[in-house]
């Protein structure tokens, strides 16, 4: 059943009003009066609705059922990535992180970043659209936020405010990711930091360790920069009981 997001102010008297691009999308899908759709307020509540009327600017829906969204994980997880080269990689990270259950996706610059974008904050509007489409497709109850945090220091500042911070590093002294997660399976929030092409410099791992993050190994295989965050996020979801 199709799913759409809307602001809570568009719920009035047992009716839901879908406007803009989503109203047009309903028309493109050839949904008609009497068809059912799910509408989410973006705060974790789903509304099952009958379509009453549609046009290119607005769809009017009758609310027939209200329930908490069952697809949101019990752990809020931020995925923070060194900016990769090429928009296809950033798009992939955003899309798959949303599908896998992240509540935030952030990008930053660090020593081995090849990409040095001019005014990356301007990309966030496009990144947010990708997150919204992935949230619709995967049945999420929220639209995860996508942002630019500037530097590794900015990423570390985000990570230390979560219950557990995981810094993925490919060499040197590291903890086992599985052992760290086994000991922290009851956390309510987590952060995952992964590097760009080429990973991190040693001094960056030292900064993460000094900040109190777990510097973790992901095994002996070499993962691409767009693969590593999704693998780590999946491990967090599994360890916290969100892949049952």
pLDDT (tens digit per residue) in 101-136:
999 999 999 999 998 777 777 789 999 999 999 999
CA distance 110 to 201: 9
CA-closest candidate to residue 36, choices 82, 2, 78, 70: 2
187: which 2 tokens? Answer: 């956390």
With cut-offs at 50, 70 and 90, classify the pLDDT of residue 41. confident
Q: How far is CA 8 from CA 21, 198, 203, 235, in A?
A: 17, 44, 46, 33
| Neighbouring residues of 171: CB distance < 8 A, sequence distance ≥ 6 | 199
Q: Which residue has the tokens 């990708």?
A: 130
Element (H, E) at 223: none
pLDDT digits (tens, 9 = 90+) for 167-180: 999 988 899 999 99
């Amino acid at each position: 059943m199709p799913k759409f997001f809307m602001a809570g102010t568009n719920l009035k008297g047992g009716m839901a009003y879908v406007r803009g691009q989503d109203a047009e999308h309903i028309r493109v899908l050839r949904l008609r009066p009497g068809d059912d759709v799910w509408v989410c307020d973006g705060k974790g509540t789903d509304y099952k609705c009958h379509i009453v009327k549609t046009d290119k600017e607005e769809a009017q829906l009758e609310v027939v059922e209200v329930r908490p969204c069952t697809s949101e994980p019990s752990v809020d997880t931020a995925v923070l990535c060194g900016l990769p080269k090429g928009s296809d990689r950033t798009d992939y990270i955003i899309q798959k992180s949303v599908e896998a259950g992240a509540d935030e996706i952030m990008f930053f610059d660090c020593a081995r970043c090849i990409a040095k974008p001019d005014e990356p904050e301007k990309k966030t509007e496009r990144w947010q659209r990708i997150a919204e489409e992935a949230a619709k497709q995967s049945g999420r109850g929220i639209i995860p936020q996508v942002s630019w945090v500037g530097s590794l220091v900015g990423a570390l500042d985000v990570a230390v405010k979560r219950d557990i911070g995981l810094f993925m590093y490919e060499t040197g002294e590291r903890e086992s990711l599985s052992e760290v997660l086994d000991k922290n399976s009851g956390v309510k929030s987590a952060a995952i930091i992964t590097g760009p092409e080429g990973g991190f410099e040693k001094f960056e791992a030292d900064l993460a360790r000094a900040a109190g993050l777990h510097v973790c190994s992901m095994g002996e295989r070499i993962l691409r920069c767009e693969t590593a965050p999704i693998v780590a996020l999946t491990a967090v979801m599994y360890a916290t009981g969100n892949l049952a």
